[in-house]
Amino acid sequence: MRGHSFDIAKQGYVGLLTGASTKMTGDTPAMLDARAAFQRRQHFTPIAAAVTRAVTADTGPGATLLEIGAGTGYYTADALDAAPTATAIAVDVAKPAARRCARAHERAAAVLADAWLGLPVRDGTLTAVLSVFAPRNPDEVARALAPEGRFVVATPTDRHLGELIGPLGMVTVDPDKDRRLDAALSGRFDVADRVLIEYPMELDRADVANVVGMGPSAFHAGTDDSRLAAVADTTKVTASVLVSTYRVTPRAHS
């Protein structure tokens, strides 16, 4: 591990957070439970497939992947299933997430770390980095990626879950999010590809409760209030996500 002392928790993950940084919480156990339940229902399978295609394209033997904000390890595991000789590091700042990631896949290592303080890998060693609905550290990703590596970022569009945002008081998505993402990565990365994944989902009331409870809206909208009670037994909801692939700008490695 790059410049770190660490301990291996009994739950099977490597812990790199020390001192004040150990108080960082990230996703709560309830949020992760809701996300895992929603993922088991396979509503986000097309998104996972698109992320996996982008991450594993032209991936050769012995590839090393890293996911920032890995959560349940769902996307890491899907990518590893598609790349049988690859290994992965699942990084998250939340202890409950690190515990889940430690069990996500036999070829994945779980690390409790804050990506904003640095990724726990040497310079130029990663084949691909993925970030799905998670914050990211462009400088660290550029440092850690191999010269031909790829950075895959999945972000919601302003249409994502649009049918639920108003009625349930969920957090809205900035319609200019993709432009702001490109601007944030400018100078370190060039856009190589971008794919829109958009499709309708049929969600029951439990699915809707999990959608509210698994993301940032969990901090703003309750999962047991009258608004959820008013949701129909089955609701048509749009999934709309941009999967963007970036390559390191050559000068970023010089």
pTM: 0.88
State the pLDDT confidence band at 214, using cuts at 50, 70 and 90.
Answer: very high
Q: Are strands 145-156 and 234-248 parallel, antiparallel or unpaired?
A: antiparallel
State the pLDDT confidence band at 231, using cuts at 50, 70 and 90.
Answer: confident
State the pLDDT confidence band at 10, using cuts at 50, 70 and 90.
Answer: very low
Higher pLDDT among residues 55 and 221, named by residue? 55
Query: Counting beta carbons within 10 angstroms of the beta carbon of residue 21, is it exposed (0 to 12), middle (13 to 18) or buried (19 or more)?
Result: middle
The verdict on residue 240 lying in a domain is yes
The verdict on residue 1 lying in a domain is no
What's the pLDDT at 6?
Answer: 42
Rg (the chain; Cα; Å)? 18
What's the pLDDT at 39?
Answer: 96
The verdict on residue 188 lying in a domain is yes
Range of the domain at 102: 7-253
Question: Closest Cα to residue 61, out of 121, 105, 127?
Answer: 127
What's the pLDDT at 8?
Answer: 44
Is the pLDDT at 14 greater than 60? The verdict is yes
Mean pLDDT of the chain: 86
The verdict on residue 2 lying in a domain is no
The verdict on residue 61 lying in a domain is yes
Grouping H, G, I as helix, E, B as strand and the rest as coil, residue 201 is strand
Paired residues of 242 in beta bridges: 155, 196
Crossing angle for the helix pair 205-214 and 29-40, to the nearest 10 degrees: 140
Residue 35, token pair as written in the block: 């996300």
Domains: count for the chain? 1
Query: Model confidence over 104-162: pLDDT tens digits?
Result: 999 999 999 998 888 989 999 999 999 999 988 999 999 999 998 999 999 999 999 99
The phi and psi torsions of 27 (rounded to 5 degrees) equal: -70, 140
Q: What is the CATH number of the domain that holds 177?
A: 3.40.50.150
Query: Counting beta carbons within 10 angstroms of the beta carbon of residue 199, is it exposed (0 to 12), middle (13 to 18) or buried (19 or more)?
Result: exposed
Grouping H, G, I as helix, E, B as strand and the rest as coil, residue 107 is coil
Query: Model confidence over 165-209: pLDDT tens digits?
Result: 888 888 888 777 778 888 888 888 999 999 999 999 999 999 999
The verdict on residue 186 lying in a domain is yes
What's the pLDDT at 247?
Answer: 94
The verdict on residue 100 lying in a domain is yes
Helical (H) or strand (E) element with 83: none
What's the pLDDT at 4?
Answer: 44
Query: Counting beta carbons within 10 angstroms of the beta carbon of residue 23, is it exposed (0 to 12), middle (13 to 18) or buried (19 or more)?
Result: exposed
The verdict on residue 170 lying in a domain is yes
